[in-house]
Amino acid sequence: MKLLVLLLTLVTLVSTARAQQPGLIANTDGRKAISLNGQWQTIVDPYESGYYNYRYQPSENGYFKNAKPKSKSDLIEYDLDNSATLKVPGDWNTQSEQLFFYEGTVWYKKSFDYQRKPNTRLFVYFGAANYLADVYLNGEKIGRHEGGFTPFNFEITKLVREAGNFLVVKVDNKRRRDAVPTLMTDWWNYGGLTRDVKLIETPATFVNDYFIQLQKGSRDRVVGWVKLNGEKPQQQITISIPEAGISKSFTTGANGTALVDFTAPLRLWSPESPKLYDVSIEAETDQVRDQIGFRSIETRGTEILLNGKPVFLRGVCIHEEAPFRGGRANSRADAQTLLGWAKELGANFVRLAHYPHNEWMVREADRMGIMVWSEIPVYWTIEWENPATLENARNQLSEMVGRDKNRAAVVIWSMANETPLSDARLSFLRNLVTHARELDPGRLISAAMERHYLDATTQMIDDPLGEYLDVLGCNEYVGWYDGLPDKANRLEWRSKYQKPLIMSEFGGDALYGNHGDVLTRWTEEYQENLYRHQIAMLKRISFLRGTTPWILMDFRSPRRPLPKIQDYWNRKGLISNKGEKKKAFYVMREWYGGMESSAGNSDYKP
Ligand code: GCU
């Protein structure tokens, strides 16, 4: 009897391992991939007539069929092969004036041939698609993805042909009340296949995912897991770090997973020395290589400790707006420009707002030695009581952590930005915090919260969410939305929690080249003066351990129509969208420069 039960369990385990759809494929850079970037044929379909029939029911003969007239009398009212094209990766809004304000559906089509080798599998991988993507191959639906800023992949092994494949994606960036983000944001709702699209070829059983980082609080114990997917889940795997003389073997179980645990004398990653190791994960049927840094990040009281030492996070916020050309940033060059400016500012930290940015940003931050705050777009007033909204937010969180969990640069996961207090909101966000800790017990959890006045001159941070966070984030606009710049001189800050604070937003607008006296809004002098008062106030906050002014570079927002000043740009950048540094840039650089030179000594204060 016992034997039978055992056998049964084994069978179910094996069958689940075999049948299990692979999750997000980790590290697509380190695999055999074919890029599908380039020009894609497109159809702009505001009425979604390529998806619904005239009764507004989903049609079986939608544009995903890529149908062709079979005779001169045949009636086909679209032609994906001869339609206008758009560049992928790229948002559609900045590629065509007609689409600048467009929110709706655009159909994308890419044709390709593919000779699949025996015993291999094939996946299509999207870096991101904003917002709702329905994906079809050769007329068959292969999947749907919701969320505009995280990667996803689908297996197409059984559907792909030698020649004449057509991959069709319906991308819909319409805003919805129940979505994440919801209807109102202060950034442009750039739509489209905004990041790289590629075909990933793998062996029949492959290294689907892995998590290899230092254990929380340790500086030499490497823990994590490796997960295989395929019909041979039980294998020997070897993790090698040749430069550190490390080669450790583990065995995966029936579910394809092996727990990893070993000690290693590693040089630790830090902004001063962003050491990345070549790491290879070798299974019997597959091998993946990656570049991984090892560092510990933790808090102790109001301190943030990097590799056991107190650190001040000299940061700046960044939106994923492309420098110079505008639109969604999506390349290594964009990342190098934006992070290069942050370095020039004296930053060792960036807050990537308000959604996970493209993988180039975090990989460049890894290489350049810039710590990262990464956030999911739970922004302003989400539908807290809607279970589907919660599931959506949880999924975006899983995908954000899934993609970047092996990046040493990423030190903080942020759950939300400026969300209004309520019990429903608190339980929603607590659910996310718990989920984040399950996914990744090693990193710090935070959120950008708001403060309130205890009296005319006392700011209080006592958002109940603070209880569940490792690091408090707080946004304040003293001197811009709240009084004039000198108001900061009179303010004192308190917190209910013995935890480190990052002032996650502060600042004001200025149009580059617009000059006047310090009290004239929109001038560089006003912004410069505001920053001087801010810095003086921030220096007085004893539990402050980081700052990320809003924002590195001007960015587009539909909420900013002021003619000749904003013209749909939020002008709070320290740098204009054309790369011109405003006066306030130098005020911040001076402060950070002073800190940088004294950062060595452990008891320094901002
Ligand atoms: C908010 C918000 C940002 C916004 C900024 C502003 O606090 O978090 O997304 O752009 O303030 O008003 O400029």
For the CA of 557, the closest atom of ligand 1 is 10
Residue 316 CB contacts under 8 Å (≥ 6 apart), including other chains: 342, 345, 347, 349, 350, 351, 548, 549, 551, 552, 574, 588
Residue-wise pLDDT for 289-305, tens only, equals 999 999 999 999 999 99
- Per-residue pLDDT at 453 exceeds 90: yes
DSSP string, 46-66: TT-TTTB-TTSSB-TTSGGG-
Percent of the chain having pLDDT more than 70?
95
Residue-wise pLDDT for 466-507, tens only, equals 999 999 999 999 999 999 999 999 999 999 999 999 999 999
With tokens 């004239």, the residue in question is 520
What pLDDT is recorded for position 428? 98
Residue-wise pLDDT for 18-30, tens only, equals 445 678 998 888 7
CA 178 to ligand 1 center in whole angstroms: 21
CA 573 to ligand 1 center in whole angstroms: 11
Residue identifier of the C-alpha nearest atom 12 of ligand 1: 186
> What integer is the mean pLDDT of 518-535?
98
Distance (Å, whole) CA 435 – CA 414? 12
Residue 603: band (very low, low, confident or very high) from pLDDT cuts 50, 70, 90: very low
Residue-wise pLDDT for 399-422, tens only, equals 999 999 999 999 999 999 999 999
> What integer is the mean pLDDT of 564-588?
98
> What integer is the mean pLDDT of 331-335?
98
What pLDDT is recorded for position 538? 98
> What integer is the mean pLDDT of 107-130?
96
Distance (Å, whole) CA 504 – CA 549? 7
Residue 606: band (very low, low, confident or very high) from pLDDT cuts 50, 70, 90: very low
Q: Are 260 and 224 in contact (CB under 8 A)?
A: yes
> What integer is the mean pLDDT of 93-115?
98
Residue-wise pLDDT for 84-98, tens only, equals 999 999 999 999 999
Integer-rounded Cα radius of gyration of the chain: 25
Query: CA angle, corner 500, sides to 494 and 506, nearest 5?
Result: 70
CA 440 to ligand 1 center in whole angstroms: 28
H helix intervals, 90-215: none
For the CA of 354, the closest atom of ligand 1 is 9
Alpha carbon separation from 22 to 13, 161, 201, 228, 490 (Å, rounded): 15, 21, 13, 9, 56
For the CA of 481, the closest atom of ligand 1 is 12
Structure tokens given for 336: 């190098």
Residue 596: band (very low, low, confident or very high) from pLDDT cuts 50, 70, 90: confident
- Per-residue pLDDT at 17 exceeds 70: no
CA 92 to ligand 1 center in whole angstroms: 24
Residue-wise pLDDT for 138-160, tens only, equals 999 999 999 999 999 999 999 99
For the CA of 505, the closest atom of ligand 1 is 7
Percent of the chain having pLDDT more than 90?
93
- Per-residue pLDDT at 13 exceeds 80: no
Give the relative orientation of helices 359-368 and 387-404 as an angle to the nearest 10 degrees. Answer: 40
CA 186 to ligand 1 center in whole angstroms: 6
Residue-wise pLDDT for 33-89, tens only, equals 999 999 999 999 999 999 999 999 999 999 999 999 999 999 999 999 999 999 999
**Which letter does DSSP use for residue 237 in this model?**
E
Q: Are 197 and 127 in contact (CB under 8 A)?
A: yes
Residue-wise pLDDT for 240-282, tens only, equals 999 999 999 999 999 999 999 999 999 999 999 999 999 999 9
Distance (Å, whole) CA 173 – CA 192? 7
CA 475 to ligand 1 center in whole angstroms: 9
Amino acid (one-letter) located at 9: T
For the CA of 555, the closest atom of ligand 1 is 10
With tokens 């370095």, the residue in question is 343
Residue 14: band (very low, low, confident or very high) from pLDDT cuts 50, 70, 90: very low
Pocket-forming residues, ligand 1, beta carbon under 6 Å: 186, 354, 417-418, 475, 505, 550, 570, 572
What pLDDT is recorded for position 601? 46
Residue identifier of the C-alpha nearest atom 2 of ligand 1: 186
Predicted model pTM: 0.95
- Per-residue pLDDT at 578 exceeds 60: yes
- Per-residue pLDDT at 196 exceeds 80: yes
Task: Kindly provide the b/e burial profile for residues 348-387, where b requires at least 16 CB atoms within 10 angstroms of the residue's own CB.
Answer: bbbbbbbbbbbbbbbbbbbbbbbbbbbbbbbbbebbbeee
- Per-residue pLDDT at 1 exceeds 60: no
Residue 207: band (very low, low, confident or very high) from pLDDT cuts 50, 70, 90: very high
What pLDDT is recorded for position 27? 84
Task: Kindly provide the b/e burial profile for residues 194-213, where b requires at least 16 CB atoms within 10 angstroms of the residue's own CB.
Answer: bbbbbbbbbbebbbbbbbbb
Least confident range of 8-17, 171-180, 321-330, 344-353: 8-17
